Amino acid sequence: MAGEINEGSVPSYYREVYEAIRCRTEERVQVEVFHRLLDRTDLQKAARGQIVEHVEWTGGFLSKLSFYKALALIALAQQGKQPSPKLLENCIQELPKPQLGEPKDLGTLRMQPTPDDPLTVSHSLDQLLARDSVQVELIPEKKGLFLKHVEYQVTSQHHKISVYRRYSDFDVFHELLVQRFAYRMVPALPPKRMLKGVLTSISEREFIEGRRRALGRFINLVARHPFSSEDDLVKIFLTFNGSDVQTKLRDAYKRTGDEFMTNRIATQAKEYLPTDVQNQFSASKELIRNIHNSFHKLRDRAEKMAERSKENATDLLMFGRELSMLGSDASSIPSLASSQCTWATLRKSLKGLSVEFALLSDKAAQQGRREEDDVVEKLNFFLDLLQSYRDLCERHEKGVLHEHQKALQKYSVMKRQMMSATAQSKEQVSVEQLESRIVQQESAIQTMELRNYFSLFCLHQETQLIFSYLPMTYHILGAFVKSQVQGHAEMGEVWNDLQPKLGFLFGNNGMQPPF
């Protein structure tokens, strides 16, 4: 029946409504959008059901003519008539106008996300953090000190299993993740440094500890990613207890290829993208770049505060030791000293103060560890995520877009060669070879275009993920304030205990307390 509607005789209102809600890149209307349009009408559920029954659609979409037919059936139903194809035949030359309001107001129907809209990422921060929590612990005694490599125990709370991994396992895993999810955020690995012997130097140990922390951030970001975390690569890395995890990972990648080959909507990604996707991408990239730069400065400041707390711990300990040395001095008091001099008894009291200053030093050291573990580490986690987004943007711009442009240039050269060969009446075999190469290049360009749209599709989703993680700012500030409150309270308690002790010492030596 839809084929009997002559597009040339369709009222302008039909065309305006169609333009308002059709797909942005295709000449068709999504079924979900059509249902939203039906819901805007004042029709009874039974009438809406009859209209849907008489409208043809394929693969979740209505063609233009099918949509025009649906509008006519809506108009008939609004007039109190039976919305049937038979009745529609009587008014095919002058289609009735449905009452749907101003076409310009209908565009929002297309923009409303549906629960199963593949472009929309609806995960909250709490949901992302709850997906998994992975602990990465150093195993220095098992192999690290003797076989010149470090091994890690990786424990996934979600999979409820512990496995043992070397840095090289992380390296292969990361390499395959970037290949499998080239259009997704993949955090960078910390640098590898070859050890030259037994770990004896403090700097070497600090490097190993820093790398352990960074590997922990890496695997937690991967294990919490709503798309890559469900992949076999991730499951194998977190659960496989066999002898050669690297071979197992490579075999898994060979079976699947990259995400474009397995994602069910990869070739239709263009359909779901907003018309201003490039503008949104540019704006989001700039905003996230600024956020990244600011958080980088915050992390640097937090690191300095943690370092100052550690330095304060050292200074307090040394201050106490100096007091203890003064108190341990057994030198006799010279005769020229006044008979009223109390130094001999006072210095003995100083020795006991080293205990309080050692306790103050311990509290300051704890404060430094809290600032490092709770504040700096959270900032580093967030920075790793933001950097992975910036790396993804760079892969998109220098990879997919660049390759697409190169393919188009190559195609243009081939077309000119073909025109030249035809004009010069070259051998048929040569012309046919050029034609074959052009066909192959056209196919390659089509694939690259599809990959480009899929890359933008994934970028759009990854951008949403970044914004889902932004409330982590509250977690970071909360950890910072808590560490300061706890640290100052603990230090204040020791200082308060020290004050009356000083008063007692000075008072017993016939001196007025200095406070």
pLDDT of 355-406, one tens digit each?
A: 889 999 999 999 999 999 999 999 999 999 999 999 999 988 887 655 656 5
Q: Which residues contact 394 (CB under 8 A, 6 or more apart)?
A: none
Q: Do 274 and 457 contact (CB within 8 A), yes or no? A: no
In whole angstroms, what is the distance from residue 472 CA to residue 381 CA?
A: 10
- Pick from 147, 141, 218: which is nearest to 185 by CA? 218
C-beta neighbour count of 40 within 10 angstroms: 14
Residue type, 493: E
* DSSP sequence for 468-494: HHTTHHHHHHHHHHHHHHHHHHHHHHH
Q: Which residue has the higher pLDDT, 508 or 177?
A: 177
Note whether 51 and 38 are within 8 A (CB). Answer: yes
Lowest mean pLDDT among 65-69, 313-317, 436-440: 436-440
Query: How many CB atoms are closer than 10 A to CB 313?
Result: 21
Nearest Cα to Cα of residue 467 among 197, 121, 106 = 121
With cut-offs at 50, 70 and 90, classify the pLDDT of residue 194: very low
pLDDT category of residue 3 using cuts at 50, 70 and 90? very low
Cβ atoms of 120 and 265 within 8 Å: the answer is: no
Q: What is residue 144's predicted lDDT score, i.e. its pLDDT?
A: 42
What are the φ and ψ backbone dihedral angles of 161, each rounded to 5 degrees?
-155, 150
The whole-number pLDDT of residue 419 equals 58
If you average pLDDT over residues 218-238, what whole number do you get?
96
> How much is the mean pLDDT over the chain?
84
CA distance 202 to 215: 20
> 54-68, 303-317, 479-493: which has the minimum mean pLDDT?
54-68
Q: Is 195's pLDDT higher than 60?
A: no
Query: Could you tell me whether strands 61-63 and 28-30 are parallel, antiparallel, or unpaired per DSSP bridges?
Result: antiparallel
Sorted by sequence, the CB contacts under 8 Å of residue 296 that are 6+ apart come out as 383
What distances in angstroms separate CA 414 from CA 410, 421, 425, one per listed residue? Answer: 6, 10, 16
pLDDT of amino acid 433 = 67
β-bridge partners, 134: 156
pLDDT at 44 (0 to 100): 87
Instruction: Give the range among 26-35, 131-140, 276-285, 384-393 with minimum mean pLDDT.
Output: 26-35
Exposure of 232 by Cβ count < 10 A (0-12 exposed, 13-18 middle, 19+ buried)?
A: middle
Sign of CA dihedral 111, 117, 119, 123: positive
The pLDDT-based confidence of 430 (bands split at 50, 70, 90) is low
pLDDT-above-90 percentage for the chain: 45
Distant-in-sequence, close-in-space partners of 85: CB < 8 Å, separation ≥ 6: 1, 54, 69
C-alpha radius of gyration, the chain, whole number: 36
Q: Note whether 72 and 95 are within 8 A (CB).
A: yes
Closest to 460 in 3D by CA, of 307, 302, 269 = 269
The phi and psi torsions of 138 (rounded to 5 degrees) equal: -80, 135
Q: What is the mean pLDDT of residues 38-62?
A: 83
Q: What is the token pair recorded at 264?
A: 């069910």
How much of the chain exceeds pLDDT 70, in percent?
81
pLDDT surpasses 70 at 30 = yes
Distance between CA 486 and CA 309 in Å, rounded? 13
Burial of 364 (0-12, 13-18, 19+ CB in 10 A): buried
Three-class secondary structure assignment of 1-28: CHHHCCHHHCCHHHHHHHHHHCCCCCCE
Polymer length of the chain: 515
